Structure 1
């Protein structure tokens, strides 16, 4: 990049804001354009570090480990919204632990007495939990401190973000139309936020490809309960029946949640494709378009690794 040139990052979810922070702190002039700041889907995330049904595995492992390192560092500062938290991932069948979990601190198989009724196997480990509203505010502050700017505007095309020598496409589902990328599809996710009845540990069930998820993540005074994963649905309206199911599933595992007061519902649409897309292409006018989207339910988990990859690609232009 030459003096006076700027990079435009389109999208202000966790992928866009993290990429903007990495570029700005490397000395690049960065301008973020997004309809919603921060992005709704990122705000709706639970969120716990852990690769979630995303490919390609070799790149995902690398990106995820880079992000894990950063989150461990951020957990030292409570204002970031990141905390290292112990908890259990369990299964009702004799499933092997996910390979990413075995590398985490404190990993061990659960004793039968540690598991809720109906579960046959489980694993305890410590992982980063991220309170997304707090964390996204932190990223915005960090971007501002690095000299980055933010503009709230809806784009009709990626070209509308220019003129700029580099445009970084972190639009999530918006890439369906802006690229266009017809390989991208939504997976609707819903969480219910309740008052915390005293939980300090997370719980997550390995539900495989089921649309009905079961997890709860304590964040101080609140707990985020999940969830759903409805393939092909991108509607962001509240679903009372789905919310009732989430509450019932979580209360069955942790009865104290049955009396918790509901504070809000968070709904997002995970931008999902067969493989995460982090790559560059040259537009007809010579603009470098750098894509960073399609993270599915692993946007937070891969955010710092993919942002580093984006910075590398910008440097190679």
Structure 2
């Protein structure tokens, strides 16, 4: 047998073997093995709660204020009022604010506030060669951003869609896309940003939530993170009738704030603990261009009657290594971070009280415990 006939015969034999193996393999369809989502149970008890906090989200029905105005000889660029979307939109609205700053021609810029929005805005201005000084009442961890949960939620309590205009929606979309790209650059850096599994568990069919007080995503922008998928009973271990899943992003808040602040200072940024109480305090600053990232602090100083708090309580559980997912279930949720597993889910419009209430924590624990008890296995 010559070489050509040998190769031809061997090739046909291999195809025959492959066909035989293929015929024995299970076919896709009703008899195919479905991918099972192995979801570890959460250890829940009140004695595992190590911290309770109440954060205030700065909400404006028309959406975050991104605008420029004159104050005597100075220019104020506003970037505040993000509701529950501050973490997700910080890079994007920071970029919109940066564009307004660049129209002034000023290179020495003041930023008011050292939360996630203020830090992202300051970093973006540095990238354009600006000399930036941050003026702040407090430093992380004593900032409102540190009391948030830090997940990708660019439309959470961002506005009231019945009030917000199409102009704001377009602005929001541009900010969302810019933020998403920036967070992709941070993946793999000390777990500052990571992809996680997110589950929705309900005994009722899932419906879009557009009420900002309830914490739903009032807008949806397809094509960034994967769309939600409803799982069949064979694909999960939850006991509920309806279960959804998607991959989403989570931010390691302590690492993120430390990274941003350290990078800002390393690149020559200046940081001054200096509380701004009135417009005269802003007028006294040496910079002619000031970016207002004060959140709720802007309400009194700039007489913003639209700005109001939406309080949200969180209870922190001791970390559980195998629990790395996010869960939304029956009005409560858990978010697993490196520093703890956070339980939350409430929102009270107009509430300025930051005192945690034990009965709220007990309700979170009871709700999630019921979900865990119903799990199979």
Per the alignment, do residues 94 and 100 of structure 1 end up closer, same or farther by CA in structure 2, a change over 3 Å counting?
Answer: farther
Distance 1:130 1:255 in 2: 29
What does residue 150 of structure 2 align with? 47
Greater C-alpha Rg? 2
What does residue 254 of structure 2 align with? 133
Q: Normalized against structure 2, the TM-score is what?
A: 0.60
Distance 1:18 1:54 in 2: 18
How far is the alpha carbon of 1:221 from its aligned partner?
5.8
Distance 1:250 1:64 in 2: 31
- The structure with the greater share of residues assigned to strand is 1
Match among 245, 248, 269 for residue 148 of structure 1? 269
Distance 1:110 1:158 in 2: 54
Structure 1 residue 65 corresponds to structure 2 residue 177: yes
Match among 340, 343, 347 for residue 222 of structure 1? 340
Per the alignment, do residues 32 and 92 of structure 1 end up closer, same or farther by CA in structure 2, a change over 3 Å counting?
Answer: farther
Runs of 4+ in 1 over 6 A off after TM superposition: 1-4
What SS does structure 2 have at the residue aligned with 1:47?
Answer: coil
Asked if 2 retains the 8 angstrom alpha-carbon contact of 1:90 and 1:115, the reply is: no
What SS does structure 2 have at the residue aligned with 1:123?
Answer: strand
Per the alignment, do residues 92 and 53 of structure 1 end up closer, same or farther by CA in structure 2, a change over 3 Å counting?
Answer: farther
Unaligned runs of 5+ residues in structure 1 are 208-212, 257-317
Asked if 1 retains the 8 angstrom alpha-carbon contact of 2:107 and 2:129, the reply is: no
Per-residue deviation, residues 122-172 of structure 1 (Å, max 9, x unmatched):
431111101212211111012112211111121122441323211111111
What does residue 89 of structure 1 align with? 200
What does residue 82 of structure 2 align with? none
What SS does structure 2 have at the residue aligned with 1:78?
Answer: coil
Per-residue deviation, residues 50-107 of structure 1 (Å, max 9, x unmatched):
221323433223212221222222122125x211112213444323466347742374
Residue pairs, 1:220-299, within 5 angstroms: 220=338, 222-254=340-372
Distance 2:358 2:170 in 1: 39
Per the alignment, do residues 194 and 164 of structure 1 end up closer, same or farther by CA in structure 2, a change over 3 Å counting?
Answer: same
Worse-superposed segment, 162-171 or 34-43: 34-43
What does residue 196 of structure 1 align with? 319
Per-residue deviation, residues 236-275 of structure 1 (Å, max 9, x unmatched):
222222122222222223359xxxxxxxxxxxxxxxxxxx
What does residue 303 of structure 2 align with? 180
Aligned residues: 248
Per the alignment, do residues 27 and 103 of structure 1 end up closer, same or farther by CA in structure 2, a change over 3 Å counting?
Answer: closer
Distance 2:248 2:267 in 1: 28
What does residue 76 of structure 1 align with? 188
Unaligned runs of 5+ residues in structure 2 are 1-101, 160-167, 209-216
What does residue 13 of structure 1 align with? 115
What SS does structure 2 have at the residue aligned with 1:72?
Answer: helix
Asked if 2 retains the 8 angstrom alpha-carbon contact of 1:173 and 1:185, the reply is: yes
Distance 1:35 1:89 in 2: 38
Per the alignment, do residues 141 and 125 of structure 1 end up closer, same or farther by CA in structure 2, a change over 3 Å counting?
Answer: same
RMSD: 2.7
